[in-house]
Structure 1
C-alpha cells in the first residue's frame, strides 16, 4: 500500500508543477529538463541556474530557467 501512496504523491507533485497557480504573477515559471546533463535545457539550448531546481521523490527532476519569474518569500 505504501508504494501506491508514494507513486500517487509523486504523480500529484509532478502535475502540480505543471499547472500554474491561479492568482500568481502573469509570468509563469519555465522548467528546464537536462537529461544529458550538459548544462543546457534540452528543448531550447538555453542555460539554467544549477542552484534552482525542482525535487520530486528525493531526485532533481527539473531546473528553473534563468529568464523565468521567480518570487522571493519564505516558507515554513
Structure 2
C-alpha cells in the first residue's frame, strides 16, 4: 500500500501532465478562477480519463482526495 503523501507534482504526473513547479503554476493561473458552480472534475479542460481520475479520487476518499481538494481550492482563487 502506498502511504506516501501526494503532492501537486505527483498529482500532475498521475494526470499525465507537466509536473514541474512552473508548469503547475501556469496551469492553475491559466484555468483560474474556476466558477463555484463547476465541480473541479467537471471543468472543460480535463480529458475524460483525467476527469474520471479526479472524480473517483474524491468519491472514494482515496489517498489522492486531500491533494485534489487542495488543487480545487487553488483553482477557485
Which interval holds the TM-score relative to the shorter structure?
under 0.3
More strand by share: 1
Q: Which has the larger radius of gyration?
A: 1
